[in-house]
Amino acid sequence: MPLDLPLDTPGSDLVLDAEAGIRRSLLPGGVRLLTQTDRSVRSASVGFWLPVGSRDESPQHAGSTHVLEHLLFKGTDRRSAMDIAAAFDEVGGESNAVTAKEHTFYYGRVRSSDVPMAVDVLTDMITSSRLADEALETEREVILEELAMAADDPGDIGYETFLEQVIGPGTALGRPVGGTAETVSALGGGDVRDHYRQHYRPDTLVVTAVGDVDHDGLRDLVLERLAAGGWELPDSAAPAPRPAPADLPERDGTAQVLDLAPHRLVRDTEQVHVYLGGPGLSATDPARHTMNVLMSILGGGMSSRLFQHIREERGLAYSVYSFSGGYREAGLFGLYAACRPSRTEEVVALLREELAELGRTGPTPEEMRRALGQITGSLALGLEDTTSRMGRLGSTELIHGRYASVDETISRIAAVTEHDVRELAERLAGSFTTRVDIGPAA
């Protein structure tokens, strides 16, 4: 059975999975530490997670979380930007960061003997970055180039636009993670520093590590380096509550996909990139495993219905697939295809019909067998590397608040039935709200 991960027990230490070597401790200051010790490898991945993403920004400061993530690599009181980069390069390691809608994540992967260095550098960045105005001015130009590059990519701009239209234009969750050129250009150093002070705190920090690591030794090291960075770490402090779901505007779905007026983005491309879909399931919805099975059958690989019927049998598209995504209180599902402009409406009709047919008749036993094998196999293979396992621990703590072993997760996936898939497909086939087309002017 999944184990709850309480926040109201400062100083607690839980063995979440003795066989897998997974432990969780609540440290002074409310810091959370989750580790998986694996002596079969000679490396380790270490991550520092904060539950702040683009959805936590005000409209006028959209993009500030992403800007802050960039600036943490640009120098601390002890290290220059070059020092930070060289620290990992000179040991053959890697470091990076990710800003998402609901969290920010800094991580490093190194040999186990270099874990103290990785923790030292990452805690230095988290606690003591200078966030200097001159660094902001330089990095602002880099980020504007990054946004321009995304705008040139039909996949990037198409998905962001599709998500915004499904979740709700103008909502915090619907806004692009990187903000816009206008909001990023207007950000001042004070805005970024205020954002840091509000969200980067011990009681929001989650530290995860997987590989050849010692939990107790890492605990002492993390506390030592956080204290050296000036963070106060009282023994009695508990972690901040996990963010609660927010209210989002209601969206009316319709099965009449062909009547949906597309949201058009004109680009000088040879193909039209079509995104079609609507509201899906939240990240914690019990039916999320059914959604994964459905997406696998519908458009999750070369044996899927969309690939076989639209590409292989009719030759109407080269790239065609289905996808889904989930957040605290909302989610989305989508169908994607890229085709020549003259074929767009035919492809849209086929996308709609494949989902509707799955809702009418359900999947075949052979499709269920393939989908369950694909999902469970991909899960197992993906967890062979320490970075993927570290990411799983982070999402377990930040999003779910409950720990389920890999075997328990696989059992839940295997319990999905043909009826479950048919029922969800029928529901989604009547839930289309959004169509986004990216391509040449009509």
Active site residues: 69
What whole-number distance in Å separates Cα of residue 124 and Cα of residue 119? 8
Amino acid at 110: V
Helix 64-71 × helix 189-199 angle, to 10°: 90
Task: For residue 138, report the phi and psi dihedrals to the nearest 5 degrees.
Answer: -70, -45
251: left (phi over 0), alpha (psi -120 to 50) or beta: beta
Q: What is residue 253's three-state secondary structure?
A: coil
Of 355, 359, 408, 298, nearest to 2 (Cα)?
A: 408
What whole-number distance in Å separates Cα of residue 223 and Cα of residue 31? 9
Q: What is residue 201's three-state secondary structure?
A: coil
Contact 190, 131 (CB under 8 A): no
Residue that the structure tokens 């085709």 belong to: 339
User: How does 59-77 read in b/e, with b if 16+ C-beta sit within 10 Å?
Assistant: eebbbbbbbbbbbbbbbbe
Contact 55, 101 (CB under 8 A): yes
Q: Partners of 128 in the beta sheet?
A: none
Specify the DSSP class assigned to residue 102.
S
Burial of 251 (0-12, 13-18, 19+ CB in 10 A): middle
Given 3-state DSSP classes, what are the helix, strand and coil percentages for the chain, each rounded to the nearest 5? 45, 20, 35
How many residues are there in the chain?
442
Give the full edge-to-edge strand order of the sheet including 43-50. 13-17, 22-26, 32-37, 206-211, 43-50, 104-111, 94-99
Burial of 24 (0-12, 13-18, 19+ CB in 10 A): buried
Tokens representing 292 are: 């994964």
